Structure formats: C-alpha cells, structure tokens
A and B are shown apart, each in its own frame.
Chain A
Amino acid sequence: MVNLNKIKIIYGFFVKTLLRSKKTKFFILFSLVPLLIFLIINGLKLIYHDNLLAGSDFFKNGGMPFFFQFYIQLISLLFGAAVISDEIDSKTLIYLNTSPVSKFSILGGKFSAYLSVSFLSFAIGSTILYVMTHFKGILTTKSLATLLQLQFTGLIAIIAYSSLFLLFGVSLKKSTIIGLVFIFGWETIAQILPGTAQKLTIFFYLNSLSPIRIPKEKGILNISVIQPGYGEALITLLIFSAIFFAASVYVFKKREYLLADHT
C-alpha cells in the first residue's frame, strides 16, 4: 500500500541522517578529486612555463571517465546496496519493520533519500569541474545546456545503478562484493566482448544519453554494437530501474532478516 505521506517522512529523516554521515562527506570531497588533479597539472605547467591543459579536453578524457565509469557506479553501489544492509548491520531495521508502514513505503522513502544524496554528491563535483574546465564560455546557452544534460544523464545513471544495487542489497549478504564484481567485471568486460553482450550493461545505454561521449575501450575484433538512440536508451534504463525496484520490494516483503544470533 502506497502512503505518500509516510514515504515523505522516511525520505526526510534519511536525507537528514545521510547529509550528516561521514560517508556522504567523503563522497562529496571525493567528487572534487578530478578538479584537484586538473588544478595540480595546470599549476605545474604554469611553474614550468608549459602550455596549459585545455579544460574541455581534461573534462572529456579525465572528468567523464571518472564520473561515468567510476564515481557514479561506486556511489550507487555504496549507497544503493546500503539502503537495507546498513539497517541490518546497525540492527535498526527493526524500528522500520515494526512500524505501521508498508515495505513499499519503507523502501520507497529510503531509496529516494539515498538517490537524492548520491545525486547531490555527484552534482557538486561534476558541476564545479565543468564550470572550472569550461570557465571562458560557461555562460553560453550551449554550455549551460550541456551541463544540464550531463546532470540529467548522471541522475539517470544513479537511478539505474542504485536500483540494481538496491536489489543486491535486499537479496544478498555480500552485496558490496558482488556489486564490485558487476561494476569492474561485467560492465567493463562486456564493453569489449563481441556480440550483443554490451546490451546487458547499464553503461551501454548511458553512453547514448551523455552529451559528451564517454571514452571506452575498442571491442574484440573491433566489432561494436550500434548505440541505441536517446529515447530508446532513456526508456530502457527507466524500465530496468523500475523492474529492479519492484523486485527489491518483492524480496524485501518476503525475506526474513536475521539481525543477530537468534535463540
């Protein structure tokens, strides 16, 4: 049963707790790493009177892979899988599960809170980097539109990855390890496999949404699959996310969570 008011209450409580957590603070700081690298490189180039590194090149070849092939996946895993696993580890799940709130509302409220904070962390780092690397032309319509589209792509990516990792989190004990294998194993390897294996990755669709193409490895035998169109990619990712979320609610409803030694 969907109760929007209770979803809102759970959302508000967990946004507050997340914004105060060390994990969120770490990820916000971590999102600034590419900017730091950019500043260090250009600082050194200034000292040695070398030509400065072009901001747009750094964003495309450094910022985009960092955010779209590493940061988003990592934050989605560590936040998405933690929606329930954090509650199990701290044994606080008991407070939610013995409240007059449906499992759908619990998961809906918590998941949307975790999504919001993940996106906020991404948005802070990626926006500052984009502004700093496109400083001269930032106020042009094209540049601002690109920035907005990047943020939207980031949001969709976080929704897609987080909903998958939410399913891992509610279903599996070692969800983080399995999530890491998915990110750095399957998602990476599938990009260079021949055939249509790429279509079974989130990254494949993500690349079609991004206004700046995310660099990737060439496939084995140089066979590459034709990228889907923008609409197709967006709808596919949203359908994936809805399926993963619905499956998570189903598992969360059916599963018993053992919080300690039970005797």
Chain B
Amino acid sequence: MGTVIKGENLSKWYGNVLGLSEISVDISKGIQGLLGPNGAGKSTFLKILTGQLKPNIGEIKIFDEPVFNNHELFHRIGYCPEFDAYYREVTGWEFIRFKSALFGYSKKETDQRALTALEKVGLTDSKDRKITAYSLGMRQRLKFASSIINDSDLLILDEPLRGVDPLWRIRIIKMLKEFEEEGRTIIVSSHILSEIEAMTNNVILIHQGKIFAHGDIQEIRDLIGSHPHKVSVVCDDARGLAKKMIGDDLLLNIQFLDNEQKVIFETDKRDKFFDTLTYTISNSTINVSEITSPDDNLQSVFDYLIGR
C-alpha cells in the first residue's frame, strides 16, 4: 500500500510549551485512529497535518506534497475540526453550500454535493434553519457533512463523534467504514478508546507530544486488562451488592459513598469482574441505576502504563 501521509521528526513548540516532540509517521490507506488523553498533542498533530501550523522541526507530506500554504491539496482532503465553530448568521444549507462552492464545482454540482452531504448526516429537513438553532449534535453532524462534500481521498476528523447522539454515532462509524472500503484514508482522533475501537484496530497512541505506541488496538486492550480498574455502581442496596461480589478473589478494594447508595469496586480482573457483576445483578432484586467505569479512559491507561 502506498504512503498517504509521511511525517519525519515533527516537533512543535508554543513558546516554552512543547506540543509535539520528534514524531515520525507513515500512514497508508484505511482508518487510522489517533488516541490520546486531552492535551496529548493530537490536535497539534492534526493542525500540522492540515497546514494550519508549521512544524518547528521536521517535514510532513501528504500525497507526496508539502502541506503548509498548499491550498490546492485540499481538493483531496476533507477536514472536520474539533471546535464547535460556526457562522452565527447563516443556515445549515448556506454554510454547506458555501463550503461546496469553494471547491469550484459548477452551480448544479455545488448544490447537488451540498444536498447529498446533508442527506448523509440527516439534516435535510432542518437545512433552512439557522445554525444557532441547531443542537450540539446537529452542529457536529453539519461539520462532518462539510468534510465529506468533496469525496476526498483523505478525511481528517478531529473528535468527530463529540456530542453526537448514539444512533448517529453508529451511522457515522458505518459511513467511515464504507469510505475505508472505497479505498480512502481516514484519520480519526479521539480521547475515548471505545470510539476508536468501533472504527479500527489500527491506532497511534499520543502522549505528552510523543508517539507512545503505534499498532493494533488489541495490544492496548490487553494492557488495560491487567490495569487495576475501578467500577462505580449506583443502586438501592450497595452493601448487599458488595456482599454478593466478595469471593472469587476478584476485588482489591471496596468503597461506599453517598450514604451507601454508591459502591466503588477495584479489581485487577476486569473482564471476569464484569461477568460476575452482570450475573449477580440479574439474579438479585437489587435495582441498579448506574454503572460507570471512571478508569475506562485513556488518561488512566496512560497513567498506569507510564507509572508501571
């Protein structure tokens, strides 16, 4: 497979703050996940990738062309930025049509492409409403629509699922997989592991401006598997649930909070713990209102991996 993106020794500083440090990447066709906790350097990398920033050191090329100040390259690139940024005075249709027109299509094709993009994200019915009247999820879908107008060879998506409702998350992920099958390259950044996991096995882990790991997501999952894990359960009988969970040598620690309405379990056998928890809850009269896993985010994984 040919290289789509090639970056060598990319470093970027903001004054004394290091954004990226000596990152080298070689990205081919397919979906490439870009994972890292907030502040890891993902956005800096994507901004360099989209020519918004110039690396202090190193060089980046897309389709074998330099990126910075190369506007012609954007005929082949679609970009969905992370910001919830929009023009306040225009409708969804006016915005998408404007974005479409900037590609230099004929009037008919401009309209057709804008309409198709809106159809793909389910905003046709609300296209004539002002963007200010859209919900966060709708604005996010509009941004995504603006990135797919030109059927680009390379799609760069910075946190594209933030604020999108579950149904549309599934649809967008499905769409991205279809783009992959068409032979296109998609770079998706996220700080949520499960989002990336749903799209691809191929990930780059960024932490503190450096590439921490590059490869198969399963390896990261395995690392998480042995990571001491906290699970919070809110229910009507926390003490009763804890009593049933003790045994099988699953728990490292139990903590009760909120007048014993909440119990936090700590385990180093994550998968087996969840099996037991599911079985216990379904075979008891305990009413569970919430199960969350505060550790199931990248920051804790990185903290664990760096600290061990």
Contact = CB atoms under 8 A, between A and B. Distances in A.
- Is B a genuine binding partner of A? yes
B104 A6 contact: yes
A258 B14 contact: yes
Contacts of B81: 91, 94-95, 98
A161 to B, nearest CB: 24
A69 B127 CA distance: 44
Given A94-B83, A263-B17, A17 B43 contact: no
Interface string A140-155: 0000000000000000
Interface string A1-36: 001011001100100111011000000000000000
B71 interface: yes
A222 interface: no
Nearest to B54: A256
Contacts of A201: none
Interface string B141-182: 000001000000000000000000000000000000000000
B61 interface: no
Given A16-B90, A263-B17, A100 B85 contact: no
Contact of B14 (A16, A98, A253, A262): A262
A96 to B, nearest CB: 8
Contacts, number: 95
A102 interface: yes
B53 A98 contact: no
A250 to B, nearest CB: 12
Interface string B29-68: 0000000001111011001001111100000000000000
Interface in B192-239: 209
A90 B50 contact: no
A13 B47 contact: no
Contacts of A253: 69
A17 B87 contact: yes
Given A16-B94, A92-B86, A262 B44 contact: yes
Interface residues of B, number: 40
B69 A99 contact: no
Contacts of A9: 98, 101-102
A98 B51 CA distance: 8
Given A256-B52, A258-B14, A262-B14, A99 B94 contact: no
Instruction: Choose among B14, B79, B89, B103 the residue with the greatest number of A CB atoms under 10 Å from its CB.
Output: B89
A259 B14 CA distance: 12
Contacts of B6: none
B19 A262 contact: yes
Contacts of B54: 256
A261 B54 CA distance: 16
A196 interface: no
Contacts of B47: 262
A262 B43 contact: yes
Nearest to A5: B104
A257 interface: yes
Contacts of A256: 52-54
A92 B71 contact: no
Residue of A6, A9, A91, A99 with highest tally of chain B CB at under 10 A = A99
Contacts of B75: 100
B269 interface: no
B89 A98 contact: no
A263 B85 contact: no
Nearest to A100: B74
Contacts of B89: 16-18, 20-21
A94 B52 contact: yes
Contacts of A61: none
A226 interface: no
A100 B71 contact: yes
Given A17-B87, A99-B71, 11 more contacts: A16-B89, A91-B81, A98-B51, A99-B74, A100-B104, A102-B71, A253-B69, A258-B14, A259-B52, A260-B43, A263-B40
Interface of A: 3, 5-6, 9-10, 13, 16-18, 20-21, 90-92, 94-95, 97-103, 253, 256-263
Q: Which 8 A-B residue pairs are closest in the complex by CB-CB distance?
A: A91-B85, A20-B89, A263-B39, A100-B74, A91-B83, A99-B102, A17-B89, A98-B79
